[in-house]
Chain A
Amino acid sequence: SQELEQSPQSLIVQEGKNLTINCTSSKTLYGLYWYKQKYGEGLIFLMMLQKGGEEKSHEKITAKLDEKKQQSSLHITASQPSHAGIYLCGATSGGGADGLTFGKGTHLIIQP
C-alpha cells in the first residue's frame, strides 16, 4: 500500500519568513493533493498536482510535483499568522476517483 512521509513533522517560523514542507511517496504518484487543517476543524483544499514538473501557486503558497522523485513540496513565501495550521498531503493510488492516502501532517506555527 502507498505511504506518504511528510517532513518536517512540525515547524516554527517567524512571521515574514519563507518555509518549505515536503511530501515523499513510497509509490508512483498519480495525483497529489495539499490540504490545510486548522486545529479541530475540517480540511481546506489548497492544490492538486497531477503531472511531473507541475507547479501551482495560490496567493503566497506554491506547490511542485517531482514525479521522478515521487515527491512534492509546498513553499510559503513571507509567512503570516493565517498560515498556521496542519498541512496534509494526500495521494491517490491509481487513476480516477479514489480514497486518498494521507501523510501524518506538518504542524506549522508562525511566531509574531
Chain B
Amino acid sequence: NAGVMQNPRHLVRRRGQEARLRCSPMKGHSHVYWYRQLPEEGLKFMVYLQKENIIDESGMPKERFSAEFPKEGPSILRIQQVVRGDSAAYFCASSPPFVDTQYFGPGTRLTVL
C-alpha cells in the first residue's frame, strides 16, 4: 500500500504566479488535511477535506488560497498570485473513515522568487 503521495516535491515560482500542489491520499483514505511548515513557526493546520467537501478551513488564509478534493483525482492546494511569504513546506496528510491517525506525505517545498 503506497503512502501519501505529493507532487511536485519542489516547486519554484516567481511572485504573482500560481502554485498548484497535489496530494494523493493512501488507498482507502477519504479524509485529507493540508498543513504548512514555515521556518521558526512550526507546522500549522490549514484545511480538512473529505471527498467533494471542505470540512474545516479555519487555518486557510482568507485570500489567494483554496483547496479541493474532487470525487476523482488528487486533492489540490492552489495558491494564486504567490508572494515571498508563501515560501514554505506544504504537507498533506490522510486518514481513513472513523480513524483519527493522520499519515503524512513527504511534502512540497515551495520557493517564491
Binding site for B on A (CB under 8 A): 31, 33, 35, 40-45, 48, 88, 90, 92, 96-105
Binding site for A on B (CB under 8 A): 4, 31, 33, 35, 41-48, 55-56, 58-59, 91, 93, 95, 99-107, 109
Could you say which residues of chain B place their CB within 8 Å of the CB of A43? Answer: 43, 91, 93, 104
Shortest Cβ gap from B81 to chain A (Å): 25
State whether B104 touches A42 (Cβ < 8 A): yes
State whether B43 touches A102 (Cβ < 8 A): yes
State whether A42 touches B105 (Cβ < 8 A): yes
Shortest Cβ gap from A103 to chain B (Å): 7
Q: Which among A31, A41, A103 is the interface contact of B100 at CB below 8 angstroms? A: A31
Could you say which residues of chain B place their CB within 8 Å of the CB of A98? Answer: 48, 56, 100
Shortest Cβ gap from A77 to chain B (Å): 24
Could you say which residues of chain A place their CB within 8 Å of the CB of B55? Answer: 97
User: Which of A42, A99, A103 has the most B CB atoms < 10 Å from its CB?
Assistant: A99
If over half of A's interface residues share one DSSP class (helix, strand or loop), that class is named, otherwise mixed; here it is loop
Shortest 3 CB-CB distances between A and B: which pairs? A99-B45, A43-B104, A42-B106
- Complex Cα gap A40–B33 (Å): 19
State whether B48 touches A41 (Cβ < 8 A): no
Could you say which residues of chain B place their CB within 8 Å of the CB of A35? Answer: 104
Determine the residue in chain A with the shortest Cβ distance to B58: A99
State whether B42 touches A103 (Cβ < 8 A): yes
Shortest Cβ gap from B107 to chain A (Å): 5
State whether B106 touches A96 (Cβ < 8 A): no
Shortest Cβ gap from B12 to chain A (Å): 16
Could you say which residues of chain A place their CB within 8 Å of the CB of B95? Answer: 97
- Complex Cα gap A48–B101 (Å): 7
State whether A96 touches B91 (Cβ < 8 A): no
- Complex Cα gap A92–B48 (Å): 13
Determine the residue in chain A with the shortest Cβ distance to B102: A100
State whether B58 touches A45 (Cβ < 8 A): no
State whether B91 touches A99 (Cβ < 8 A): no
